[in-house]
Amino acid sequence: MRAFIFPGQGSQAVGMGRALADASTTARDVFGEVDEALGQGLLRLMSDGPADELQLTENAQPAIMANALATLRVLERDAGIRLADKVDYVAGHSLGEYSALCAAQALELSTTARLLKLRGQAMQRAVAVGEGAMAAILGADIERAGAIARAGVDAVKQEGGPELVCAVANDNDPGQVVISGHRAAVERAVSLAKELGAKRAIILPVSASFHCSLMEPAAREMEGALADADLRGPLVPVYVNIDAAPVADPGLLRDALVRQVTGLVRWRESVERMVEAGVTDFIEFGGKVLSPMVKRIAPDANAVSVISMDDLDALAKAL
């Protein structure tokens, strides 16, 4: 069995998509459709930067999706591969869930681009710049990372500060968990991480605190946007982040996307459950972030990243 997987924020980089667009009319068509839907030159920003503008959440999210979908569409249209014939499940990490839904034809490309633009803007609006933060806790499982997050909250409180938020946001793999919340609490958690058993803790270069209760205003915005969006049943089930379970019902998918904004990204569990369901092959489109995670979660699984035309040629032959 096979799963197509799609990366989340952090996989963006200046130059992304340029070689694909130069090599394939199909890829250029995808980027052009996204540019038209958003009314901006996103491909130019992806290709040439500046990096600080690409890093903005409202740009990074649709850019990552566009790059992944352009890669997939080249496989489908230029190599004649039908997703429904070759794939049993799709899944994506955080914003990658929207890419997965678009790949499985539950969302149109233009709709996906507009939803992700709004999602990025709503997430940034939810927490003032400088007030939120996220950190990667390395060499710790989810239980230990949760204890480190709580220690950060307690430390601020003991120092006479207010009750703040700091919680596990992404359970990525057995040794990489991300925490999120108020900057003061996250920074205290990072300072305590080694003492509490982690190998290392790193503040991440993001401008808000995703996947925690501080994102509640963004969740409400997305609830309204998703209620109006044309979301159909996918060609294959989508393993949703919030439940680490396969979903095909459009109403349940809408609900999962709303809950995902404030909820835990259960990537490790999602991969484990796909493996339990019989998936042996994981193919990541447009990035090389998730495939190493898959190998750490399920060492016996096959996991590859597909980014270049050479990668696509090799995959088309293998399929």
Q: How many residues in total does the chain contain?
A: 319
- Cβ proximity of 11 and 54 under 8 Å: no
**The CATH number of the domain where 175 resides is what?**
3.30.70.250
Q: Which residues contact 270 (CB under 8 A, 6 or more apart)?
A: 91, 239, 240, 241, 244
Lowest-confidence segment of 12-26, 161-175, 183-197, 281-295 by average pLDDT:
12-26
| Mean of pLDDT over the chain | 94
DSSP conformational letter for 172? E
Domain extent, residue 6, equals: 2-126+214-318
Please indicate, yes or no, whether residues 30 and 108 belong to a single structural domain of this protein. Answer: yes
Please indicate, yes or no, whether residues 96 and 242 belong to a single structural domain of this protein. Answer: yes
Lowest-confidence segment of 75-79, 97-101, 139-143, 181-185 by average pLDDT:
75-79
DSSP conformational letter for 213? G
pTM of this prediction? 0.95
Which of 179, 206, 233 terminates a domain? The answer is 206
Please tell me whether residue 30 adopts helix, strand or coil conformation.
Answer: helix
Please indicate, yes or no, whether residues 219 and 76 belong to a single structural domain of this protein. Answer: yes
Among 180, 211, 270, 305, which one carries the catalytic annotation? 211
Known active-site residue 182: no
Cross-strand partners of 92: 6
Please indicate, yes or no, whether residues 64 and 137 belong to a single structural domain of this protein. Answer: no
Q: State how many domains the chain has.
A: 2
Please indicate, yes or no, whether residues 120 and 142 belong to a single structural domain of this protein. Answer: no
Which of 155, 180, 206 terminates a domain? The answer is 206
Give, for 77, the enclosing helix (H) or strand (E): none
Q: Which residues contact 217 (CB under 8 A, 6 or more apart)?
A: 122, 125, 126
Known active-site residue 94: yes
Please indicate, yes or no, whether residues 181 and 224 belong to a single structural domain of this protein. Answer: no
Categorize the per-residue pLDDT at 48 as very low, low, confident or very high, splitting at 50, 70 and 90.
Answer: confident
Please indicate, yes or no, whether residues 105 and 248 belong to a single structural domain of this protein. Answer: yes
Categorize the per-residue pLDDT at 161 as very low, low, confident or very high, splitting at 50, 70 and 90.
Answer: confident
Instruction: Give pLDDT tens digits for 172-225.
Output: 999 999 999 999 999 999 999 999 999 999 999 887 899 999 999 999 999 999
Which of 167, 188, 206 terminates a domain? The answer is 206
Among 94, 99, 270, 305, which one carries the catalytic annotation? 94
